[in-house]
Structure 1
Protein backbone atom coordinates (compact mmCIF):
# COMPACT_ATOMS: atom_id res chain seq x y z
CA UNK A 1 0.00 0.00 0.00
CA UNK A 2 2.80 2.41 0.91
CA UNK A 3 4.60 1.62 -2.31
CA UNK A 4 1.45 2.31 -4.31
CA UNK A 5 0.97 5.71 -2.66
CA UNK A 6 4.63 6.59 -3.28
CA UNK A 7 4.38 5.62 -6.92
CA UNK A 8 1.14 7.56 -7.32
CA UNK A 9 2.69 10.71 -5.80
CA UNK A 10 5.79 10.29 -7.96
CA UNK A 11 3.62 9.92 -11.06
CA UNK A 12 1.66 13.06 -10.19
CA UNK A 13 4.87 15.07 -9.73
CA UNK A 14 6.26 13.73 -12.99
CA UNK A 15 3.06 14.60 -14.89
CA UNK A 16 3.10 18.12 -13.50
CA UNK A 17 6.76 18.55 -14.38
CA UNK A 18 6.48 17.17 -17.87
CA UNK A 19 2.96 18.37 -18.75
CA UNK A 20 4.11 19.90 -22.07
CA UNK A 21 5.64 16.58 -23.07
CA UNK A 22 2.46 14.76 -22.08
CA UNK A 23 0.41 17.19 -24.19
CA UNK A 24 2.76 16.64 -27.14
CA UNK A 25 2.63 12.84 -26.86
CA UNK A 26 -1.17 12.89 -26.51
CA UNK A 27 -1.33 15.08 -29.63
CA UNK A 28 0.90 12.71 -31.62
CA UNK A 29 -1.17 9.70 -30.58
CA UNK A 30 -4.47 11.38 -31.54
CA UNK A 31 -3.25 13.61 -34.35
CA UNK A 32 -5.50 12.16 -37.04
CA UNK A 33 -8.61 12.49 -34.87
CA UNK A 34 -7.68 16.06 -33.81
CA UNK A 35 -6.95 17.09 -37.42
CA UNK A 36 -10.28 15.68 -38.59
CA UNK A 37 -12.50 17.07 -35.81
CA UNK A 38 -10.89 20.04 -34.03
CA UNK A 39 -8.54 21.65 -36.55
CA UNK A 40 -9.44 25.23 -37.49
CA UNK A 41 -7.64 25.00 -40.83
CA UNK A 42 -9.11 21.75 -42.16
CA UNK A 43 -10.72 23.70 -45.03
CA UNK A 44 -7.22 24.96 -46.03
CA UNK A 45 -5.22 21.81 -46.85
CA UNK A 46 -2.40 23.84 -48.44
CA UNK A 47 -1.34 24.99 -44.93
CA UNK A 48 -0.57 21.38 -43.85
CA UNK A 49 -1.66 22.24 -40.30
CA UNK A 50 -2.75 18.69 -39.39
CA UNK A 51 -4.09 19.87 -36.02
CA UNK A 52 -0.99 21.78 -34.89
CA UNK A 53 -3.17 24.84 -34.26
CA UNK A 54 -4.96 22.87 -31.54
CA UNK A 55 -1.59 21.79 -30.10
CA UNK A 56 -0.40 25.40 -29.94
CA UNK A 57 -3.61 26.43 -28.16
CA UNK A 58 -3.24 23.63 -25.60
CA UNK A 59 0.40 24.53 -24.95
CA UNK A 60 -0.49 28.22 -24.48
CA UNK A 61 -3.30 27.26 -22.11
CA UNK A 62 -0.93 25.03 -20.10
CA UNK A 63 1.62 27.86 -19.92
CA UNK A 64 -1.06 30.31 -18.71
CA UNK A 65 -2.21 27.85 -16.04
CA UNK A 66 1.36 27.33 -14.90
CA UNK A 67 1.98 31.09 -14.72
CA UNK A 68 -1.26 31.56 -12.77
CA UNK A 69 -0.23 28.90 -10.25
CA UNK A 70 3.23 30.46 -9.97
CA UNK A 71 1.80 33.90 -9.17
CA UNK A 72 -0.66 32.44 -6.65
CA UNK A 73 2.18 30.59 -4.91
CA UNK A 74 4.29 33.75 -4.81
CA UNK A 75 1.41 35.70 -3.34
CA UNK A 76 0.93 33.08 -0.64
CA UNK A 77 4.60 32.91 0.29
CA UNK A 78 5.21 36.67 0.24
CA UNK A 79 3.42 37.22 3.54
CA UNK A 80 5.51 38.74 6.27
CA UNK A 81 5.06 37.57 9.79
CA UNK A 82 5.79 39.95 12.63
CA UNK A 83 6.04 38.85 16.19
CA UNK A 84 6.54 40.93 19.26
CA UNK A 85 9.73 40.08 21.07
CA UNK A 86 9.40 40.18 24.81
CA UNK A 87 12.59 41.44 26.35
CA UNK A 88 13.69 40.31 29.74
CA UNK A 89 13.69 43.21 32.14
CA UNK A 90 16.59 43.03 34.57
CA UNK A 91 16.16 45.41 37.46
CA UNK A 92 19.40 44.57 39.21
CA UNK A 93 22.89 44.57 37.73
CA UNK A 94 24.15 41.16 36.65
CA UNK A 95 27.18 41.45 38.95
CA UNK A 96 24.84 41.34 41.95
CA UNK A 97 23.46 37.96 40.87
CA UNK A 98 26.64 36.18 42.00
CA UNK A 99 26.02 37.23 45.58
CA UNK A 100 22.57 35.66 45.71
CA UNK A 101 24.04 32.35 46.75
CA UNK A 102 24.76 30.10 43.79
CA UNK A 103 26.49 26.88 44.65
CA UNK A 104 30.17 27.40 43.72
CA UNK A 105 30.33 23.81 42.49
CA UNK A 106 28.30 24.79 39.41
CA UNK A 107 30.48 27.80 38.68
CA UNK A 108 33.70 25.78 38.74
CA UNK A 109 32.33 22.58 37.22
CA UNK A 110 34.54 20.97 34.64
CA UNK A 111 33.27 18.07 32.56
CA UNK A 112 35.05 14.76 32.74
CA UNK A 113 37.62 13.86 30.14
CA UNK A 114 35.99 10.52 29.31
CA UNK A 115 34.12 12.10 26.41
CA UNK A 116 37.41 12.92 24.70
CA UNK A 117 38.58 9.31 24.57
CA UNK A 118 38.38 7.54 21.23
CA UNK A 119 35.72 4.88 21.30
CA UNK A 120 37.10 1.45 20.50
CA UNK A 121 34.46 -1.23 20.05
CA UNK A 122 35.11 -4.54 21.78
CA UNK A 123 36.87 -7.14 19.68
CA UNK A 124 34.84 -10.14 18.71
CA UNK A 125 36.08 -13.34 20.22
CA UNK A 126 36.19 -16.15 17.68
CA UNK A 127 34.57 -19.35 18.91
Structure 2
Protein backbone atom coordinates (compact mmCIF):
# COMPACT_ATOMS: atom_id res chain seq x y z
CA UNK A 1 0.00 0.00 0.00
CA UNK A 2 2.91 2.28 0.74
CA UNK A 3 4.36 2.03 -2.80
CA UNK A 4 1.02 3.09 -4.28
CA UNK A 5 1.18 6.24 -2.20
CA UNK A 6 4.67 7.03 -3.51
CA UNK A 7 3.60 6.43 -7.09
CA UNK A 8 0.55 8.66 -6.71
CA UNK A 9 2.66 11.37 -5.07
CA UNK A 10 5.18 11.17 -7.91
CA UNK A 11 2.43 11.47 -10.54
CA UNK A 12 0.90 14.38 -8.66
CA UNK A 13 4.28 16.16 -8.65
CA UNK A 14 4.67 15.59 -12.39
CA UNK A 15 1.24 17.04 -13.10
CA UNK A 16 1.88 19.95 -10.75
CA UNK A 17 5.21 20.71 -12.41
CA UNK A 18 3.56 20.79 -15.82
CA UNK A 19 0.89 23.17 -14.57
CA UNK A 20 3.32 25.39 -12.68
CA UNK A 21 5.89 25.95 -15.45
CA UNK A 22 4.82 29.55 -16.11
CA UNK A 23 4.78 30.52 -12.40
CA UNK A 24 8.28 28.99 -12.09
CA UNK A 25 9.47 31.27 -14.91
CA UNK A 26 8.08 34.29 -13.06
CA UNK A 27 9.64 33.08 -9.79
CA UNK A 28 13.01 32.59 -11.49
CA UNK A 29 12.77 36.10 -12.94
CA UNK A 30 11.96 37.67 -9.58
CA UNK A 31 14.71 35.77 -7.74
CA UNK A 32 17.43 36.59 -10.30
CA UNK A 33 16.18 40.00 -11.38
CA UNK A 34 19.44 41.91 -10.71
CA UNK A 35 21.55 39.32 -12.52
CA UNK A 36 19.13 39.28 -15.47
CA UNK A 37 19.14 43.09 -15.71
CA UNK A 38 22.95 43.29 -15.62
CA UNK A 39 23.89 40.27 -17.76
CA UNK A 40 20.99 38.81 -19.76
CA UNK A 41 18.81 41.77 -20.71
CA UNK A 42 18.98 42.76 -24.39
CA UNK A 43 18.66 46.43 -23.50
CA UNK A 44 21.26 46.46 -20.71
CA UNK A 45 23.43 48.94 -22.61
CA UNK A 46 20.54 51.40 -23.03
CA UNK A 47 19.23 51.99 -19.50
CA UNK A 48 16.98 54.86 -20.64
CA UNK A 49 14.53 52.26 -22.02
CA UNK A 50 13.87 50.97 -18.48
CA UNK A 51 13.45 47.42 -19.73
CA UNK A 52 14.58 45.95 -16.40
CA UNK A 53 14.82 42.45 -17.83
CA UNK A 54 11.26 42.29 -19.15
CA UNK A 55 12.59 41.38 -22.58
CA UNK A 56 14.27 38.32 -21.05
CA UNK A 57 11.05 37.41 -19.23
CA UNK A 58 9.06 37.77 -22.47
CA UNK A 59 11.54 35.49 -24.27
CA UNK A 60 11.32 32.85 -21.57
CA UNK A 61 7.51 32.95 -21.54
CA UNK A 62 7.49 32.72 -25.34
CA UNK A 63 9.78 29.66 -25.18
CA UNK A 64 7.49 27.98 -22.66
CA UNK A 65 4.40 28.74 -24.76
CA UNK A 66 6.07 27.38 -27.92
CA UNK A 67 7.19 24.23 -26.13
CA UNK A 68 3.71 23.62 -24.74
CA UNK A 69 2.16 24.19 -28.18
CA UNK A 70 4.70 21.83 -29.76
CA UNK A 71 4.00 19.16 -27.15
CA UNK A 72 0.26 19.55 -27.66
CA UNK A 73 0.64 19.28 -31.44
CA UNK A 74 2.80 16.17 -30.99
CA UNK A 75 0.18 14.60 -28.72
CA UNK A 76 -2.56 15.35 -31.24
CA UNK A 77 -0.58 13.88 -34.12
CA UNK A 78 0.25 10.78 -32.05
CA UNK A 79 -3.43 10.38 -31.17
CA UNK A 80 -4.42 10.79 -34.82
CA UNK A 81 -1.84 8.19 -35.85
CA UNK A 82 -3.16 5.74 -33.27
CA UNK A 83 -6.75 6.27 -34.41
CA UNK A 84 -5.78 5.78 -38.05
CA UNK A 85 -3.85 2.64 -37.20
CA UNK A 86 -6.77 1.20 -35.27
CA UNK A 87 -9.37 2.11 -37.89
CA UNK A 88 -7.35 1.02 -40.89
CA UNK A 89 -5.59 -1.85 -39.21
CA UNK A 90 -4.14 -4.37 -41.59
CA UNK A 91 -6.05 -7.60 -41.36
CA UNK A 92 -5.17 -10.59 -43.43
CA UNK A 93 -8.17 -12.44 -44.72
CA UNK A 94 -7.65 -16.14 -45.20
CA UNK A 95 -9.89 -17.52 -47.91
CA UNK A 96 -9.25 -21.21 -47.58
CA UNK A 97 -11.22 -23.03 -50.23
CA UNK A 98 -13.23 -25.97 -48.98
CA UNK A 99 -12.98 -29.12 -51.07
CA UNK A 100 -16.00 -29.60 -53.32
CA UNK A 101 -17.50 -33.08 -53.60
CA UNK A 102 -19.23 -33.73 -56.92
CA UNK A 103 -20.49 -37.18 -56.01
CA UNK A 104 -23.39 -36.04 -53.84
CA UNK A 105 -24.43 -33.23 -56.15
CA UNK A 106 -27.99 -33.42 -57.55
CA UNK A 107 -28.77 -31.35 -60.57
CA UNK A 108 -32.55 -31.36 -60.09
CA UNK A 109 -33.30 -32.21 -56.46
CA UNK A 110 -37.09 -31.79 -56.81
CA UNK A 111 -37.34 -34.23 -59.70
CA UNK A 112 -35.22 -36.84 -58.00
CA UNK A 113 -37.33 -37.23 -54.85
CA UNK A 114 -39.04 -40.58 -54.27
CA UNK A 115 -42.57 -39.10 -54.30
CA UNK A 116 -42.18 -37.69 -57.77
CA UNK A 117 -40.50 -40.82 -59.07
CA UNK A 118 -43.47 -42.89 -57.99
CA UNK A 119 -45.92 -40.42 -59.50
CA UNK A 120 -44.21 -40.38 -62.86
CA UNK A 121 -43.83 -44.16 -63.04
CA UNK A 122 -47.58 -44.94 -62.73
CA UNK A 123 -49.75 -44.61 -65.82
CA UNK A 124 -52.43 -41.96 -65.76
CA UNK A 125 -55.89 -43.58 -65.46
CA UNK A 126 -59.39 -42.17 -65.09
CA UNK A 127 -60.91 -42.34 -61.61
CA UNK A 128 -62.82 -45.51 -60.67
CA UNK A 129 -66.50 -44.92 -59.96
Question: Normalization by structure 1: what TM-score?
Answer: 0.59
Task: Note the C-alpha offset of 1:75.
Answer: 0.5
Task: Note the C-alpha offset of 1:9.
Answer: 2.3
1:9 & 1:32 partners in 2: Cα distance? 35
- Distance verdict in 2 for CA 1:4–1:33, change over 3 Å: farther
1:64 & 1:5 partners in 2: Cα distance? 30
Question: Normalization by structure 2: what TM-score?
Answer: 0.59
Matched, 1:47 2:52: no
Question: 1:28 maps to what in 2?
Answer: 30
1:15 & 1:47 partners in 2: Cα distance? 34
Larger radius of gyration: 2
- Please list every run of 5 or more consecutive structure 2 residues that lacks an aligned counterpart in the other structure: 94-129
Length, aligned pairs only:
85
Task: Note the C-alpha offset of 1:35.
Answer: 0.9
2:55 & 2:68 partners in 1: Cα distance? 20
Question: 1:72 maps to what in 2?
Answer: 74
Residues 65-106 of structure 1 deviation map (CA, whole Å, 9 limit, x = unaligned): 11111111001111322366x9xxxxxxxxxxxxxxxxxxxx
- Please list every run of 5 or more consecutive structure 1 residues that lacks an aligned counterpart in the other structure: 87-127
- Distance verdict in 2 for CA 1:11–1:42, change over 3 Å: same
Q: 1:84-99 to 2 correspondence within 5 Å? A: none
CA RMSD of the aligned region, Å? 1.9
Task: Note the C-alpha offset of 1:15.
Answer: 1.3
